[in-house]
Structure 1
Amino acid sequence: MNGFGEKSGDGAVPGDVDAVALAPSGFSEPGMDHSAIKDKPLISQRVISDIMMCADGVIIFVSALVAKWAYIVVVLESAPQIEPYAVIGMVGAVFAVGTMRYRGLYDFNVLSEIRGQAKRILIGLAVAALMLVAIGYLLKISGQYSRGWFTVWFAISAVLVFILHFINARILRWLGALGAFARNIVIYGSGDIAQSLIRRVSMSPLNVRVVGIFDDLPRGQRGQVPVAGGLSDLIVFGQSRRIDEILIAMPMTNELRVANLVEQLSLLPADIRICPTATAFRIPPKKLLDYGGLAVLELERRPMEGWGPIIKNAEDRFLAFLLIVTFAPLLLLIALAIKLDSRGPVIFKQRRHGFNHEVFNLYKFRTMFVTEDGPKVKQAQRNDPRITRIGRFLRKTSLDELPQLFNVLKGDMSLVGPRPHALAHNEYYSTVLGRYANRHKVKPGMTGWAQVNGYRGETDTPEKMRGRVEHDLWYIENWSVWLDIKILIKTPFYGFVGSNAF
């Protein structure tokens, strides 16, 4: 490898880029076991902002009820119904939060600094109070509510919301110092663009951390910045460490090379962006970004950002647990039938590639007399003599897949996603089908968009697999909760049975 060295202790890039020799800590030669090398997941700034917005709304609403008890019940010794105050409290919370959001209070950079938040909070509460007064006057209901309660409500809200934001800002600054919000970026390239990019990133307030520099240099040639390896080393590194962004830093004189780089790097679950020196670019970018004055084009985006992974994980765990409880009697009956039908284990385990090519053990009910999990795995065929009597029924109805609910509960799989294949099949199709490996940018699923569209059963030729891969990639690029629900609803009718299942 070229220019191997040590990175700075906190992972940041020193200002003297000419002396930088970035070699990611924990990086080893290709082929070694990287299972022990894990990075903490990146904390989403969007999630933090949304949580704070919801927390403010809850505080303002609860403050209305607390003010009602403290002023009307305790001070005035009256006991009116709580419902009218709850309704006004909810409406006031919506108005206040909406105004504070409009004023930019929930921008992550604003949340991280104490200065400037108090003004936005007070303006939001004041606007909400004025709107409620106006509504009460127009509807002629203002006389039904105590002005003392109204004042106490907004005073409590202002104090509690400001305390929450003060504590939150201190926590965010502490987490920021630990690098919890820093995006790990890898630069591919070692010329003038890479050198300028590293210098500008190190001098700018961007919350990013360069964790490696890679390039494929001709023998005997040295780049302007030290590199830790070539493209293959970058891919190995990305499969063992968390990479949030890959920046291609090279001239756009060879678009074919850039296109090939994007195609090979797109198997990693990371944003792919390019910092070109020319404006002509044939590949349509998804977004234009500003990196300290340098134009950066985003070519590929990681799937399911922000709330996406959290929602999908909650959806998977909840539904998997519910389905396991519901199907428990059926699971026991199938296990008993398998045990009585033929000798061997009830559960068949086979190694499969999961998210970011991590290998996991997939669970299935055993449907054959043999349990293949080696370098060569023969796919089941129609009238396959290896299939047991009960196994034929289980495969026809896909009931043999039910134990994968435990894979979902463990976090190895998702209810909806690209179907995982045996390691031998994965390695073969990765070499004959372009973008096949991109399926591993999300967790594999028990069912998927390909399965409910008829791509199910034997895939003994690249042509049969190509249609499945195209549907899997479309699902990854267009994922939504509603698409998952649609696939789950269609699965019992199109994904469990069919002429291709045997």
Structure 2
Amino acid sequence: MTNIGEKSGDGSACDGQPSAGGAPREPSGLSGQKAPRFPPDPAREQALVSKRVVSDTIMCVDGMAIFLAALVAKWAYIVAFLQHSPETGPYAVVGAVGAVIAVAAMRYQGLYDFDLLSETGGQTRRILIGLVAAALFLIAVGYLLKISEQYSRGWFVVWFAVSVVAVLAVHAVTTQVLQWLGGLGAFARNIVIYGSGDIAESVIRRVAMSPMNLRVVGVFDDLPRGQKTQVPLSGGLSDLISFGQQRRIDEVLIAMPMTNELQIANLVEQLSLLPADIRICPSATAFRIPPKKLLDYEGLAVLELERRPMDGWAPIVKNVEDKVLASLLLVSLTPLLLLIALAVKLDSRGPAIFKQRRHGFNHEVFNLYKFRTMYVAEDGPDITQATRKDPRVTRVGRFLRKTSLDELPQLFNVLRGDMSLVGPRPHALSHNEYYSTVLARYANRHKVKPGMTGWAQVNGYRGETDTPEKMRGRVERDLWYIENWSVWLDVKILAMTPFYGLIGKNAF
């Protein structure tokens, strides 16, 4: 934080304190008086570089690099190596389609988020996934249209390799450039604050401690004579306007309560002549739950504190993912399911399939299916979790629970729409009621369908949850999954499940 309460270089007092003549300075009027001059500051007069423009530019460069890689591969492999001269047009078309698909896949993963582009980690995986997705798409289309034999397989491999090197090189260079520009302050937003009370003080303190690219360059207020300010001032409203006309301001933050709507409306009206965002912070109290965004309800400002997960296309995509994969798994695992059912029946008396009521999406109760692993079938108000060497567990049941094969019948729950392949694991009704009173936000797990496996399970939170601490760790990871869901995250969890989510020391 710099330049708080700075004075202009020509001796004008801009902090509300007595001037050189000893008399207190009154705020300059909007007309009829000469406003103080603020000397230019080269470090802050540079144009603000748009993060969106940077991200979109890098995305276009990636697409162009992939397209050009197709032409380079055609020349290097087919012309130079094989010494053939086929037409360039067909290869250019495939190169353009592949570039669009690859860039779309990388964008879907969030590769072009500016904060990620500025970091050295997390980009390589997204780039490789995007290029692999494009390659698989082109292979599938070529096979279905029966045109794959018209293109050289060697060219395709060389193209993929050149694309990987080119895109990785582009991002290695751009990351260094963005970090260099960030160090110069090219992406820092210049903020001026109107207000000098506890709200302004809180804003200045939090901005100073925050890693956000924000920089307070001045604080202004019009206080009655004799009233003390809690922060150094650079002038009044007229000085703020003059400051904004002579220096670059990206945002004006009104730091005052919403009690005087007329005063705030007048402020906004007069400040609107500046080419800057105008925002308001009405309270010095921090939100325990940070607001997602500000909405406009026919002129009424509404803060969005929570957002329903998986909106738009996300529920449709996840539903298709569940139905397709569950159907394929059921078809391929049918012999195994029949063998397990037979083993359960021969091992002990009772049904092969066990049903237990669980809470699902939006706390709706459904019957969860499992292979029976115990001599008893509990589904009442008091259910005791299985423990190590539990005498209720059968011989076959012990193996099924250790390997999580007892969960396979839940594929039918997925097809019915009660569950998803990936999501927070559903708990027995009695356990739900208990932990809802013990753990804050526990019930938020039911904002999505429960899953056969989940982020908590592949991170070691599987099996008995006999203490609130264990359940708290599971809940934290479940809520993180809900907030960060993506198709690629589901794919990652499904791929990790056989290694981390099925066999483990906590399963018994």
TM-score between the two structures when normalised by the length of structure 1: 0.51
**What is the CA–CA distance in structure 2 between the aligned matches of 1:282 and 1:100, rounded to whole Å?**
35
State the one-letter code of the partner of 1:145: Y
Q: Deviations over 1:350-393 (max 9, x none)?
A: xxxxxxxxxxxxxxxxxxxxxxxxxxxxxxxxxxxxxxxxxxxx
Structure-2 residue corresponding to 1:490: none
**What is the CA–CA distance in structure 2 between the aligned matches of 1:150 and 1:162, rounded to whole Å?**
18
1:164 aligns with 2:167: no
1:255 aligns with 2:261: yes
Q: Select 1:273's aligned residue among 258, 276, 279.
A: 279
**What is the CA–CA distance in structure 1 between the aligned matches of 2:169 and 2:248, rounded to whole Å?**
34
Structure-2 residue corresponding to 1:284: 299
Question: Secondary structure, in 3 states, of the residue corresponding to 1:185?
Answer: strand
Structure-2 residue corresponding to 1:48: 54
**Identity over aligned pairs, percent:** 63
Task: Check whether the contact 1:24–1:212 (CA below 8 A) recurs between aligned residues.
Answer: no
Question: Secondary structure, in 3 states, of the residue corresponding to 2:246?
Answer: coil
**What is the CA–CA distance in structure 2 between the aligned matches of 1:282 and 1:103, rounded to whole Å?**
32
Structure-1 residue corresponding to 2:335: none
- Deviation at residue 22 of structure 1 after TM alignment: 2.8
Question: Secondary structure, in 3 states, of the residue corresponding to 1:253?
Answer: coil
Structure-1 residue corresponding to 2:242: 236
Q: Deviations over 1:447-500 (max 9, x none)?
A: xxxxxxxxxxxxxxxxxxxxxxxxxxxxxxxxxxxxxxxxxxxxxxxxxxxxxx
- Deviation at residue 283 of structure 1 after TM alignment: 9.2
**What is the CA–CA distance in structure 1 between the aligned matches of 2:134 and 2:41, rounded to whole Å?**
50
Q: Deviations over 1:36-72 (max 9, x none)?
A: 6671111111110111011001000000000001111
**What is the CA–CA distance in structure 2 between the aligned matches of 1:51 and 1:216, rounded to whole Å?**
43
1:217 aligns with 2:223: yes
Task: Check whether the contact 2:40–2:247 (CA below 8 A) recurs between aligned residues.
Answer: no
Q: How does 1:13-412 map to 2 (within 5 A)?
A: 13=2, 21-23=4-6, 29=12, 30-31=34-35, 39-277=45-283, 284=299
**What is the CA–CA distance in structure 2 between the aligned matches of 1:108 and 1:83, rounded to whole Å?**
35
State the one-letter code of the partner of 1:193: I
Distance 1:72 1:192, change over 3 A: same
Structure-2 residue corresponding to 1:6: none
**What is the CA–CA distance in structure 1 between the aligned matches of 2:8 and 2:188, rounded to whole Å?**
16
**What is the CA–CA distance in structure 1 between the aligned matches of 2:149 and 2:87, rounded to whole Å?**
15
State the one-letter code of the partner of 1:198: I
**Unaligned 5+ runs, structure 1:** 1-11, 14-19, 294-502
**What is the CA–CA distance in structure 2 between the aligned matches of 1:91 and 1:162, rounded to whole Å?**
20
Task: Check whether the contact 2:194–2:219 (CA below 8 A) recurs between aligned residues.
Answer: yes
**What is the CA–CA distance in structure 1 between the aligned matches of 2:41 and 2:207, rounded to whole Å?**
26
Question: Secondary structure, in 3 states, of the residue corresponding to 2:217?
Answer: strand
State the one-letter code of the partner of 2:6: A
- Deviation at residue 31 of structure 1 after TM alignment: 3.6
User: Which entry has the higher C-alpha Rg, 1 or 2?
Assistant: 2
- Deviation at residue 289 of structure 1 after TM alignment: 8.8
Task: Check whether the contact 2:78–2:85 (CA below 8 A) recurs between aligned residues.
Answer: yes
**What is the CA–CA distance in structure 2 between the aligned matches of 1:128 and 1:244, rounded to whole Å?**
39
Task: Check whether the contact 1:72–1:79 (CA below 8 A) recurs between aligned residues.
Answer: yes
**What is the CA–CA distance in structure 2 between the aligned matches of 1:74 and 1:125, rounded to whole Å?**
25
Distance 1:31 1:223, change over 3 A: closer
State the one-letter code of the partner of 1:260: N
**What is the CA–CA distance in structure 2 between the aligned matches of 1:62 and 1:286, rounded to whole Å?**
48
- Deviation at residue 165 of structure 1 after TM alignment: 0.6
Aligned length: 273
State the one-letter code of the partner of 2:5: L
Question: Secondary structure, in 3 states, of the residue corresponding to 2:222?
Answer: coil
Task: Check whether the contact 2:102–2:131 (CA below 8 A) recurs between aligned residues.
Answer: yes
**What is the CA–CA distance in structure 1 between the aligned matches of 2:141 and 2:182, rounded to whole Å?**
42
State the one-letter code of the partner of 1:149: W
Distance 1:97 1:179, change over 3 A: same
Distance 1:210 1:24, change over 3 A: farther
- Deviation at residue 221 of structure 1 after TM alignment: 1.3
- Deviation at residue 284 of structure 1 after TM alignment: 3.0
RMSD of aligned Cα (Å):
2.7
